[in-house]
Amino acid sequence: MELKERIRSRRAKIGVIGLGYVGLPLAVEFAIEGFDVTGFDVDAWKVGEINAGRSYIGDVKTKDVASTVANGHLRATTDMSQLHDMDVVDICVPTPLRKTRDPDLSYVVQAVDATKAYLRPGQLVILESTTYPGTTDEVVQPALQEGGLKVGVDFFLAFSPERVDPGNKSYHTRTIPKVVGGTDEISTELASDLYGSIINTVVPVSSTQVAEMVKLLENTFRAVNIGLVNEIALMSHRMNIDVWEVIDAASTKPFGFMPFYPGPGLGGHCIPIDPYYLSWKARQTGFECRFIELAGHINASMPTFVVERIGEALNTVRKSINGSRVHLFGVAYKKDVSDMRESPALDILELLHRRGAVLSYSDPHVPKLRHADLNLCSVPESQAADGIDCAVICTNHSVFDYPSIAKRFPLVVDTRNALKGVNGDNVFRL
């Protein structure tokens, strides 16, 4: 087959739609491996940055973008008509939730419509965007076949869930095993060959629905276990037990236990969202995911609990939240990244704002923050102490001097156990 040979000889032209946290690392890896790669995005700024040889994603090195652009293996465009020239189209667009917590496939539909308009025989189309089981077969395939081309005969279609973990130093695109499920054996084989050229381990599965379910299971597993440990944290607080000490001790068991840690809430694009995709799809079959939805309810309540802890801390010095100056350390959703998607810090800030707190924050990864009625700029850590009534460690970035924070501020609410081993009447843990 011509496409198989083009993939194996690195002559296949690859188009990646969506140049965010998933698409850009993937495009760069293909380009490094010698493929001719075109990135497609509706954001002209991203396109301009890539064509100028600059990376705007922390996990992608600017030198890799610059070198692959310079040698002609990587380029970017907003012109979707160029999809016609691609041998492979890899869709890596966001899949958020609507306000009703139903799946929002509008970005996927837009990308599929663009692909459909320029689809030609012999192309391989892969969806990487996290979605509910059945999306590839029920949404993508019918749309692509509207022009008369048949999947498995004229073109090929697969789903391969992204497994990006921003900020992870141990695992990246090349070292994270890639699950692949096609609509037919040929599609699975072609997609496996493609990813096998840049990824160490490829895991073929029997269908697109299995591949779609894999990603939802992975992130629902984390969401449910985080929900459990968050509930244990709430319970331990009522019992005056240090939940962090409990987890550390339980972690010494060499079997049957995996440590998860409580926090101010769930953030990122996947873990707070994916369980809702799964429960939504389950409801279409008449199945109610009570366990999963309960975990979501507990996790969503954590920002409110953090604000309550801030109120308890201020109460010890006879102050209220209203009028108090509260400073957050870290507003990104996780340690050492700039990603603000679904960050619990946003909910905490909004709740504090509603209660009349005077707010500020320090986060070297997030220089500016706009949310609801708030428009804030990051304050250098060294300049954050004057007049602050309560500091809140919301994201445990490595750059913060935590012993100094505990000494400099009259009250500190630690939601990440960043002050482990630091004791004092001014320290309040989750």
Kindly list the catalytic residues: 270
Contacts by 412-415, CB closer than 8 A, 24 or more apart: 412/313, 413/306, 413/309, 413/310, 413/313, 415/263, 415/264, 415/306, 415/309
CA–CA gap between residue 302 and residue 308 (Å, rounded): 10
CA–CA gap between residue 187 and residue 206 (Å, rounded): 11
Residue type, 136: T
CA–CA gap between residue 326 and residue 123 (Å, rounded): 55
Cα dist from 146 to 90, 134, 139, 142, 287, whole Å = 19, 18, 11, 6, 32
Cα dist from 350 to 52, 132, 408, whole Å = 37, 31, 25
CA–CA gap between residue 38 and residue 304 (Å, rounded): 44
Sequence-ordered list of residues with C-beta below 8 angstroms from that of 244, at least 6 positions apart, any chain: 261, 417, 420, 429
CA–CA gap between residue 397 and residue 365 (Å, rounded): 9
Nearest to 428 by CA among 296, 292, 326: 326
